[in-house]
Structure 1
Amino acid sequence: MKRRLFIERSALFGASLIGTKTISSTANNWIEPVQAAPIKELNFGIISTESQANQRPLWEPFIAALSKSIGIPVRAFYATQYAGVIEAMRFGQVHIAWYGGKSYIEAARIANAEAFAQTVATDGKKGYYSHLIANKSNPITAAAKRQGGDKYVLQNSAKLTFAFNEPNSTSGFLVPSYYIFAKNKVDPKKVFKRLIFSGSHEATALAIANNQVDVATNNNESLERLEKTNPSARKKIEIIWTSPIIPSDPIAYRKDLPEDVKKKLRNFFYNFKDRKILEPLQWSALVPANDKTWNPIRELDIAKQVLELQSKTGLSDADKKKLNNLNSQLRALQGR
């Protein structure tokens, strides 16, 4: 997993977890624990699906309602890359976060993250879809729709420019990487005329709208957002491939938060129903969930790695060991 983002700790809000102290008496041979000081502030990480300028007005009312409900000031942390939120949580500088499935399983692995809630879309679904998109005016688009965008991309990759979102994105990288490339034993890094990582769903959509690349990844929720933020750009975009359904997004907190704070957070998320605040976020509700809800994403991630290894010729001993380990992980997730 690539880690290119340097986290400027001075730009992050100060960590607010204070350790437990103890008072000891050697004369009486006892140690009396003293409760840790209450948390003074929480930082809420928000992955960079679009620009901070677009995200801030959507999130600030929700963050304000959360602060008021739990009685603890909550501040939003907007990162320029998904990895920024993961790393901030890893170092205790973000305490709760909105993730995508792929970024969450990475945060659960390295950043002490624990999912406790799942978003529900305005149509009531607990899932969404990854897409390949192209510009309606691009000559390739009609042919790609007729043939199937995934098949067209595979057969014509050498002539195409292609944009992923970023490596920690579920719909912008993991899902299309597995279903389109890994399953067909194709390495996208080697087959395109030009391959880029744009950094966000908004950026891939605009790259297509402006004819800067031929094909890019996106998802239905981000394209619905684009209809509101940039309708002229959305009109230029055609969907040429749709994935199987993806589990909707998790909300996760650090496992080491005090239990009373976790309880307050769960109570807020499970019971918050203000449509005026939720609908701009494209949510109708938030419901209880746990880490296993995103095991299908883990399966995709592992299966993708397995297929990539199997496509190599002349596996080294290290490759074979890694392949056996991945297959063991996959069997464990699938209960076999």
Structure 2
Amino acid sequence: MIRKLIASAAIATSLMVGGVAKAEMTFKPLEGDPQEIVFGIISTESTSNLKEQWLPLMSDMEKTLGKKVKAFFAPDYAGVIEAMRFGKVHLAWFGNKSAIEAVDRSGGEVFVQTSKADGSQGYYSHIITNVANKDINSLKDIFKCDKSLNFGIGDPNSTSGFLVPSYYVFAQNNVDPKECFKTVRNANHETNLMATANKQVDVAANNSEQIGRSKLKAPEAAAKIKVIWTSPLIPSDPMVYRKDLSKELKSQIKAFFLGYGRIGDVAGARKVLSGISDGQGLFMESNNTQLYPVRQLALFKNKLKIESNAEIGETDKKPMLEAINKKLSDLAILASHK
């Protein structure tokens, strides 16, 4: 067992050789625990909608911890990642891809993850179009690639809006969106759904949580959407805090999340959770290992991109692919010891 743990630690270190290790050393260390905890929220929707969902939970957290809890919103995911990197955000809700950036570059650490009201843990990426569009019913209908369609993709740090469709929809089908569509624009999930409903884009990436929330909050828009592709299950969203917070404060924060909806005002907390996303359940124990599958996905995507790039010679491709295969092999070993 000891040997396995040592081997796993060595592999984890090897995975951070290069860009990740260098990035990890660039985050600004905290100078002790903050007097005020800043809670970051990634921009999946408008700030007003996100405030409605998350501020009640922050208020309860403030009462439990006895510390001021302040919300931090940014126009894109990178804004929250960078704020955590420079110590301006101490805790944040991320998707898996943005959590990888926070862990690798911003001194972050996964400590719990979300779940659904039924206890399930996961959601799906979708490709959507307007229900009135009778000519688009599957991926093959958008792969005519005559640059006649406008495509809405997610934030570059979004798991379901960018990474998952980039790999499963485009990389696996050897399609370059920029060469295929008339326009490709980045926007959050809510904006892409509304743009599809209003025929401002022909096709867009989205996810099951946003569609579910829109059915509750914007049913007329949701009724104008049809799904033409669904991804494999994506792990539920992680909550990440700065790993250099004190052990005591991290324990208090983690205890709040794991106790929320389980102890104290259970009914009140569960009502708050039901108003987040498409109806959230209790928080579940987690750690950085939940990111392994998405790390593998990102590596597979890069591997396919290199393999299909005719501008890279075979001599140059070989070491690049060997490096990716080594990282994939290391991740497979780490995943087996989760």
Is TM more than 0.5 here? yes
- Worse overlay, 188-197 or 55-64: 188-197
Determine helix, strand or coil for the equivalent of 1:159: coil
Aligned twin of 1:22 = none
Shift of 1:277: 0.9
Q: Distance in 2 between matches of 1:209 and 1:48?
A: 20
Contact 1:165/1:173 (<8 A) preserved: yes
Q: Distance in 2 between matches of 1:156 and 1:311?
A: 17
Q: Distance in 2 between matches of 1:18 and 1:113?
A: 15
Determine helix, strand or coil for the equivalent of 2:92: strand
Q: Distance in 2 between matches of 1:39 and 1:243?
A: 40
Aligned twin of 2:330 = 332
Aligned twin of 1:86 = 81
Among 297, 300, 304, the alignment partner of 1:300 is 297
Shift of 1:219: 0.5
Contact 1:112/1:255 (<8 A) preserved: yes
Shift of 1:166: 1.2
Aligned twin of 1:28 = none
Shift of 1:288: 0.5
Q: Distance in 1 between matches of 2:55 and 2:316?
A: 48
Shift of 1:319: 4.8
Long gaps (5+) in structure 1: 1-14, 20-37
Shift of 1:311: 0.3
1:288 and 2:285 aligned: yes
Aligned twin of 1:116 = 111
Q: Distance in 2 between matches of 1:75 and 1:315?
A: 48
Aligned twin of 2:246 = 258
**Aligned partner of 2:46: which letter?**
S
**Aligned partner of 1:295: which letter?**
Y
Determine helix, strand or coil for the equivalent of 1:127: coil
| Per-residue CA distance 1:297-329 (angstroms, 9 max, x = gap) | 111111001101100114256554333222211
1:315 and 2:312 aligned: yes
1:166 and 2:155 aligned: yes
Contact 1:103/1:170 (<8 A) preserved: yes
**Aligned partner of 1:232: which letter?**
E
Aligned twin of 2:43 = 48
Identity, % of aligned positions: 44
| Per-residue CA distance 1:249-277 (angstroms, 9 max, x = gap) | 00010110111000001111111102111
| TM value normalised by structure 2 | 0.84
| Per-residue CA distance 1:148-205 (angstroms, 9 max, x = gap) | x22322235633211101111111011011011111222222211221112x000000
- Which protein has the larger Cα radius of gyration, Structure 1 or Structure 2? 1
Aligned twin of 1:231 = 219
Alpha carbon RMSD of aligned pairs, Å? 1.8
Q: Distance in 1 between matches of 2:320 and 2:76?
A: 28
| TM value normalised by structure 1 | 0.84
Determine helix, strand or coil for the equivalent of 1:297: helix
Q: Distance in 1 between matches of 2:320 and 2:242?
A: 29
More strand by share: 1
1:131 and 2:121 aligned: no
Number of aligned residue pairs: 297
Long gaps (5+) in structure 2: 1-27, 262-268
Contact 2:165/2:205 (<8 A) preserved: yes
